[in-house]
Each structure stands twice: as C-alpha cells, then as structure tokens.
Amino acid sequence: MTDEQGGIRGWAAVRKGMLSGLRWTSLRLRLVVVFGLVALTAAVSASAIAYWLNREAVLTRTQDAVLRDFEQEMQNRAGALPEHPGRDELQHTAGQMAAGGQQFTVLLVAQDRDGRTVYGSSGGLNGFSIEDVPASLRAAVNKKQPLTAGNRSPYHLYWQRTVDDGTPYLVAGTRVIGGGPTGYMLKSLEPEAKDLNSLAWSLGIATGLALIGSALLAQAAATTVLKPVHRLGVAARRLGEGKLDTRLRVSGTDELADLSRTFNNAAAALEKRVADMAARDEASRRFVADMSHELRTPLTAITAVTEVLEEELEFEGGGIDPMIEPAVRLVVSETRRLNDLVENLMEVTRFDAGTARLVLDDVDVADQITACIDARAWLDAVDLDAERGIHARLDPRRLDVILANLIGNALKHGGSPVRVSVREDDDAVVIAVRDHGPGIPEDVLPHVFDRFYKASASRPRSEGSGLGLSIALENAHIHGGEITAANSPEGGAVFTLRLPKDASEVARRDAEEAAEQAGGAAKGKGA
Amino acid sequence: MGQNEPVPSLLLIEDDDAIRTALELSLTRQGHRVATAASGEDGLKLLREQRPDLIVLDVMLPGIDGFEVCRRIRRTDQLPIILLTARSDDIDVVVGLESGADDYVVKPVQGRVLDARIRAVLRRGERESNDAASFGSLVIDRAAMTVTKNGEDLQLTPTELRLLLELSRRPGQALSRQQLLRLVWEHDYLGDSRLVDACVQRLRAKVEDVPSSPTLIRTVRGVGYRLDPPQ
C-alpha cells in the first residue's frame, strides 16, 4: 500500500518535473523548432539523394544485364528461326530464350507463311501477351529507322518500365534485323523494388531518429540557457516580494554569469538603500517616541500641580489674586491640551512601532456609545439611534477613542445635532456618525485622516491635536476594521466605522507576529 | 468619608523629584498622609517602619524596579499597591498586574484620578455585611473579612478579597469583566479587563485546589467569570 502510494507519488513527481522541463516557453519552443527544421532538412535531403542514387544504380545494373542477355538471346536464337516460323517453333524458341539466368518471360511475334500473326510465349507470369506491351513501345520497336552514318541498323532495342498491379516490370522489345520475329521480354523488378523499399524505410527511420535527437539536443541547449534565466526570474520575483537578501550563485564566466553578477550587485545596492532608509525612518520614529516619553515626566509633575491651582480657582472666595487668575486658567487649560497632545503622540508612535495591542472584551456596542457620550457630557448634542443587544468582542478603550474622535470631530466642525446610528452587517458592526454641517470639501476628503492635516493655512487653529482622526483610523485598523469619510446627499459629513464583531482572530495574529519579530530580534542580537 | 475616620497614610515611591513633590502636594491636599521615598530600597525600608495603608509605586526606578518592589512586598504583605506606569505599553501593565499590583495609573497622572483610585482600593477592605458563606472547603467570613480554606487562613489582598466577595454574593451567576471592574475597582466604563483577569489568576492560585483547572471560579466564555456553588 505504502509502496504503491510512494510509487504514485514518485510518478507524479517525475511527471511534474517533466512538465516543468517541457514548459513551452517561447524561447524553448523556438529552439526546438529551429533544431528540428535543420535536422529535418539535412536528413531528408541526404536520404533523398542517397535513395535516388541507389535506385538508379540498382535498376540500371539489373536492366543492363537483362537487356544484354535478351539481346544476345534474340540474336542467337530468334535470329536462327526461319523467316516464317510456325507457332510451335516460336513457342519453343521463346521457352529456350527464357530459360537463361535472368528469369524473364519472352514473347515472340512473327508472320507465318499465310501472313497470319503468330505468337510464341514462354508462358509464366500469367501469360505474357502482346496486350501487356505498351502500345508506344510496340510502335517504337516496329518503327523502321532510316539508315544513316550514325545509325547502322533499322531497328533498335527499346525498353520501358511499367507498373502492373503494384509490381514494377521492365518491358523491352526488339526485331531481329534482316527479317525475323519481333521479340518482347517482361522482367519483374519486384526484388529490386523490395530492396529499395527497405532502403527507403531505413532512411525514413534514420530521419526520424535524427529529428528526435535534434529535439533532445534542442531541449538540452534550451535548458542550459533557460535554467539560469529561470533562476534569475525567480530571484527577481523574490526581490520584488521584498526579500532583499536574495542573491544568485554565480558560476562560469559567460554572459549569463555576468547578468547574475549584475543582479547581485543591484540587489545588494537595493538592500543597503532600503536598510538605510529603514534605519533613518526608525531613528526618526524613535526620536518622536523618546521625545514624547521625555515630555511625560515633567508633564506629570505639572499636571499634578495645575490641579492644585485649579482647585484653588474653584474655591469660593479663592485665595488667588484676581490679577493673575486668567494666567492660572491659561496654564491649566494649556497643560491639559499639552497632555492630550503628548498622549496622542505616544499613541501614534505605538502604532508606528507596531507595539499597539488589543485588549479584548465582550461589550454591548450601544452601551459603549452611550457611556462614551455620557462621559463627555455630549448627551444633549448627540442623537443616538442604536438598539441594545448588539454584542461585539473588541477593545473597549480603543472603541471609545474612535467614537470620541469621530463624534468630537463632528461636533466641532459640523455642529449639533450629531446623529450616531448602529447596525449589524453580517460579521461586522457598522457605526455611522453624521453631522449637519457644511460637509467636507472634495479636495480635503482624501486627507481627513492625515496627521496634522490642515484644510487651509488660513483656517483657524483647531482645538484638537491634529491627530484625532488619524488615531481613530489606526484604532479601527488594529481591529481589522475601517473608517470611511463621505458627504451625505442630505448634507453634512458622514464617517462610517466598520468593525468586525469578533477581533480575537486579528489580535491573535498580531500577537503571533509580534512574538515572531521579538524572537527574530533576539536571534539577531544573539548572533 | 466621615470626620472620625482615620486619614489614610500612603507611601509614594517615585524617583523623579518634580513628580514626587507635585504628587505629594496634590495627594496631601486631597486629604492623605503621604510619606515619600526616592528609590525602591528606601521605600521597602520605610514600609517596614511606617506600615502605610497603601503604596503608590512608580515602575521605572533606579536600582530595583517597581515590579521587583511589588513582588518583594507581596511575599510578606497583602497591602494594596497602585502602580504608576510611564508607558501604557501593554507589557508593562501585564507584568505589573502579574507581580501583584491591585491597580495602575498611566502617567501623566491626574491627581484626582489617582485619588479616586486610592479611595476605591481602600474601600475594598471595608466590611459590608455580617454573614458567612462556604463553598466546599472554602469559608468566607464577611464579618471578620477573612477567608479560610480547610480551616487555614488565606492571605488575600483587599482587591482579591473584594473580588471573591462580589462573586460569592451571586453564586452561579456569571459577571462580565466590565461589571466586575465597576463593582470591585470602581472604574468607569473604560476599565481595563486585564485587571480582572490578572486578579482572577491570583485568586485562583490561592483558593483553588488545582489553579490550572479551576472548579470554584469558572471562566464563562464570551461573558466573564462565575463562582460555582460546590457540587
């Protein structure tokens, strides 16, 4: 069982290997076709020439021998016949003539004393009759040639090759000079034809073998070229996927090796470039993180003290000089703003560094929204359309950050009433925050989530940190969710938050990635 | 807080002079008696001499850090600890809760928030009713505010005790983390559910026979926790 499986798997592997080897990349196809054409032309022309030369040689030799024999017999035997032989005499002579070594059939034609035409055949070959002799040959044989200096006899020996029933024959005929019977002979050329046929077969097979050999050679040639090209292609793809440490093994000194070397240099340069940029990016990110961190310590002290000042302000009949009261209020409110800004900066750096994590809990979405609005005393300004009972597993603190930013933004720019609606959509919770303001200009729309984006330089400085919507978006992303901004057809801007109902999967994957990175970093440090 | 109640005494361990001074000022104005230490070692020494009601502990300290101070205190003492973390980085919070802290506050901390947390933690030790309940070998004496297991006294922090009391008041009923945060920690709706998880872990380690397979304090998936009456 296992053996069989192994066998099947082995076969599948072999087939796969072959398929990949035979993949008809156009270069491979072209090479095979060209090789094949060259081999075919060479083999076919060589075979054709060899066949024709052989054929002529074989046929001519047989023919010459037969005709010489026939001529001899005609002179010796037919010439010895009386001028008007009888049928039997003809038959006998024909038989004698055919008894020679060449195995041809003889037909003698003569006029008897009464002027009738008599035939004498040696028999065999299904009876060789005068009808078997082509008319043109008969005419040529019986035609009397004028005697000239170059032609000393009135009759000549003529021959012709015919095919009857697929068997080739040599037919020849001549007249005994000086009056006598006309003799025809028929000789089967079948043995020669068979020889030539087998020769043709062998040449055909040789041609086929040459074709196969050329195809294999072409494959081999293509492979030697295409393998490095393929490797280069794979390496380039890996490089494109961001595996910048991809390098090729350089072997040999040919053009392909040169190309590999160039590729390696390019990859090394790219890797260094990217590493430099990443390092610079990391450095600036770390700077922001460190900076906001460093700001925190003095801010903590200042915050604690400003609260003391604030209480002092609220204290009836306060102990603070009315002259400096505005100054104290300013310090208190600006400290709070500075706190928010630093808090947001820290949040942003955590997202940038990828250290932000979800702390999941099961919450009722409507309750969370109510609590968020309530905690910020927005109940009068917000119109909530949400039914209790929509539960989701998410990070309540982050949901609060998103909601506070979206609703706060709507209140600031759109004005009340702000309408917040919640609905379920498959595995997601969709929360829409709509204001009744002028909406967002089209050219600003793509930038609303940008950090510190200001619609125009002349716009008054807003109270927010300029990071709110960006942080909201990051918080949605970490849940595997999304926020989109648009203008409602009825006027006003609509921010639509879409969060998965269960973010556990996202959180788990995130944690795994973080663990992996930490492991990698530790390994890197250890090395 | 009634007039006759003793003023709670706090120990603030914080290395940064400005923050220490400011927090001392703020907390004193909120009506606490505040002793301060600038390092973990000093803090531990002061703890033995003065026996405060509560410790406010900075995580980033020179020498032994806040987590270690917390662990050392927990070895012998169950008094409440609130951590001040400079970062709300999750690992800090988790390590802090695992080392035994009752609550945490992220810097820059507002004095009022810190004060509210301090008072909430201190309230956890207050007696509420005069009955007792037993769950198998576990006996909760609400009058004496003690818990015994097989007749032996268990050393619980006020937070752990309060958590157990809240759960035991509704046996067999699942309480969500957010509910527990409100009941035990008195946090607003944005309480960190990891506080509950960490405290449940510590409580299980003390009251369960086999903490890794709890039979008393059960986790209810998708909801929270439940104290099961004995079978």
Interface predicted TM-score (ipTM): 0.76
Co-location of A372 and A471 in the same domain: yes
Co-location of B82 and B137 in the same domain: no
Co-location of A183 and A200 in the same domain: no
Of B29, B89, B189, which is closest to A308 when you measure between CB atoms?
A: B29
Residue A15 located in a structural domain: no
Residue B79 located in a structural domain: yes
Co-location of A197 and A327 in the same domain: no
β-bridge partners, B218: B226
Element of type H or E holding A173: strand A167-175
Of B61, B88, B123, the residue at which a domain comes to its end is B123
Co-location of B80 and B117 in the same domain: yes
Whole-number Cα distances in Å, A476 to A346, A395, A408, A420? 17, 10, 16, 17
Three-state DSSP class for residue B104 = strand
One pLDDT digit (tens) per residue for chain A, 527 residues: 444 555 555 566 556 555 555 555 677 888 888 888 998 899 899 989 999 999 889 888 888 888 888 888 888 877 777 777 777 777 888 888 877 777 788 888 887 777 778 777 776 545 677 777 888 888 888 887 777 777 777 778 888 888 877 788 888 888 877 667 888 888 888 888 888 889 999 999 999 998 899 889 888 888 888 888 888 888 889 988 888 888 888 887 888 888 888 989 999 999 999 999 999 988 988 888 888 878 888 888 888 888 888 888 877 666 677 788 888 888 888 888 888 888 888 888 888 887 788 888 888 899 889 989 988 888 888 989 988 888 898 988 899 999 999 998 888 887 778 999 999 988 899 999 998 888 888 888 888 898 887 655 544 555 566 888 999 999 999 999 999 999 888 888 899 999 999 888 888 887 787 777 666 554 444 43
Three-state DSSP class for residue A215 = helix
Co-location of B141 and B111 in the same domain: no
Domain count, chain A: 4
Of B16, B176, B190, which is closest to A362 when you measure between CB atoms?
A: B176
> B193–A393: do the CB atoms touch at under 8 Å?
no
The domain of B27 spans: 9-123
> A308–B16: do the CB atoms touch at under 8 Å?
no
β-bridge partners, B12: B36, B56
Co-location of B155 and B210 in the same domain: yes
Q: What is the DSSP letter of A502?
A: B
Co-location of B92 and B118 in the same domain: yes
Residue A246 located in a structural domain: no
Co-location of A403 and A511 in the same domain: yes
> B190–A397: do the CB atoms touch at under 8 Å?
yes
Of B87, B188, B223, which is closest to A362 when you measure between CB atoms?
A: B223
Co-location of A40 and A88 in the same domain: no
Residue A305 located in a structural domain: yes
- Whether the ω angle into residue B62 lies within 30 degrees of 0, i.e. cis, is no
| Distance from C-alpha of B20 to C-alpha of A81, rounded to nearest angstrom | 154
Kindly list the residues from chain A whose CB atom is less than 8 angstroms away from the CB atom of residue B107.
Answer: 296-297, 299-300
Three-state DSSP class for residue A479 = coil
Q: Which of A291, A292, A300 is the best substitution to test chain B (most B C-beta atoms within 10 A)?
A: A300
Kindly list the residues from chain B whose CB atom is less than 8 angstroms away from the CB atom of residue A307.
Answer: 26, 110-112
One pLDDT digit (tens) per residue for chain B, 231 residues: 444 567 889 999 999 898 899 999 999 988 899 999 999 999 999 999 988 999 999 988 888 989 999 999 988 888 899 998 876 566 677 888 888 899 988 887 888 888 889 998 888 877 767 778 888 888 888 888 888 888 888 888 889 988 998 898 888 888 988 889 888 988 877 778 888 988 999 999 988 888 888 888 999 887 889 998 776
Interface of A with B (CB under 8 A): 293, 296-305, 307-308, 311, 339, 342-343, 346, 350, 355, 357, 359-363, 367-368, 371-372, 375, 393, 396-397, 400
Note the pLDDT of residue A526: 42
Kindly list the residues from chain A whose CB atom is less than 8 angstroms away from the CB atom of residue B88.
Answer: 346
Kindly list the residues from chain A whose CB atom is less than 8 angstroms away from the CB atom of residue B19.
Answer: 297, 300-301, 304
Co-location of B86 and B137 in the same domain: no
Pick from B145, B141, B138: nearest CA to B208: B138
CB atoms within 10 A of CB B125: 17
Residue B181 located in a structural domain: yes
Q: What is the DSSP letter of A370?
A: H
Q: Please, which residues 3-42 of chain B have a Cβ atom closer than 8 Å to chain A?
A: 16, 18-19, 21-23, 25-26, 29
Kindly list the residues from chain B whose CB atom is less than 8 angstroms away from the CB atom of residue A359.
Answer: 90, 192-194
Residue B197 located in a structural domain: yes
Co-location of A504 and A388 in the same domain: yes
Co-location of A95 and A130 in the same domain: yes
Of A240, A274, A303, the residue at which a domain comes to its end is A240
Residue A251 located in a structural domain: no
Element of type H or E holding A184: strand A182-188
Co-location of A183 and A88 in the same domain: yes
pTM above 0.95, yes or no: no
| Tokens linked to B83 | 């951590």
Residue A36 located in a structural domain: yes
Three-state DSSP class for residue A483 = strand
Pick from B177, B181, B176, B141: nearest CA to B161: B141
Co-location of A364 and A326 in the same domain: no
Co-location of A291 and A400 in the same domain: no
pLDDT digits over B130-141, tens only? 778 888 888 888
> B193–A375: do the CB atoms touch at under 8 Å?
no
- Please state the φ and ψ torsions of residue A116, each to the nearest 5 degrees: -80, 150
The domain of A291 spans: 256-347
Whole-number Cα distances in Å, B30 to A49, A136, A249, B20, B148? 118, 141, 73, 15, 36
Of B79, B103, B123, the residue at which a domain comes to its end is B123
For residue B110, the domain's CATH number is 3.40.50.2300
Residue B80 located in a structural domain: yes
Residue A92 located in a structural domain: yes
Element of type H or E holding A3: helix A2-21
Of B123, B157, B185, the residue at which a domain comes to its end is B123
Q: Is the separation of the CB atoms in B46 and A324 below 8 Å?
A: no
Co-location of B142 and B95 in the same domain: no
Q: Is the separation of the CB atoms in A303 and B24 below 8 Å?
A: no
| Distance from C-alpha of A278 to C-alpha of A283, rounded to nearest angstrom | 8
β-bridge partners, A160: A171
| Tokens linked to B206 | 């003390």
Element of type H or E holding B38: none
Q: Is the separation of the CB atoms in A459 and A480 below 8 Å?
A: no
> A303–B108: do the CB atoms touch at under 8 Å?
yes
Residue A98 located in a structural domain: yes
β-bridge partners, A168: A163
Decide the pairing of beta strands B175-176 and B224-227: antiparallel
Co-location of B111 and B57 in the same domain: yes
Residue B2 located in a structural domain: no
Residue of B nearest to A290 (CA): B87
Co-location of B191 and B149 in the same domain: yes
Kindly list the residues from chain B whose CB atom is less than 8 angstroms away from the CB atom of residue A303.
Answer: 22, 108-111
Element of type H or E holding B187: none
Of B18, B90, B193, which is closest to A301 when you measure between CB atoms?
A: B18
**Does residue B189 belong to the interface with chain A, where contact is any CB pair within 8 Å?**
yes
> A359–B176: do the CB atoms touch at under 8 Å?
no
Co-location of A101 and A224 in the same domain: no
Residue A249 located in a structural domain: no
Taking only Cα atoms into account, the Rg of chain B, rounded to an integer number of angstroms, comes to 18
Co-location of B190 and B92 in the same domain: no
Residue B26 located in a structural domain: yes
Of A315, A347, A379, the residue at which a domain comes to its end is A347
> A300–B109: do the CB atoms touch at under 8 Å?
yes
CB atoms within 10 A of CB B16: 19
For residue B158, the domain's CATH number is 1.10.10.10
| Distance from C-alpha of A38 to C-alpha of A70, rounded to nearest angstrom | 47
> B29–A311: do the CB atoms touch at under 8 Å?
yes
Domain count, chain B: 2
> A304–B110: do the CB atoms touch at under 8 Å?
yes
Co-location of A365 and A337 in the same domain: no
Co-location of B112 and B57 in the same domain: yes
For residue A86, the domain's CATH number is 3.30.450
Of A300, A316, A347, the residue at which a domain comes to its end is A347
| Distance from C-alpha of A433 to C-alpha of A417, rounded to nearest angstrom | 11
- Please state the φ and ψ torsions of residue A207, each to the nearest 5 degrees: -60, -45
Alpha helix (H) residue ranges in A151-254: 190-240
> B86–A304: do the CB atoms touch at under 8 Å?
no
For residue A435, the domain's CATH number is 3.30.565.10
Co-location of B76 and B54 in the same domain: yes
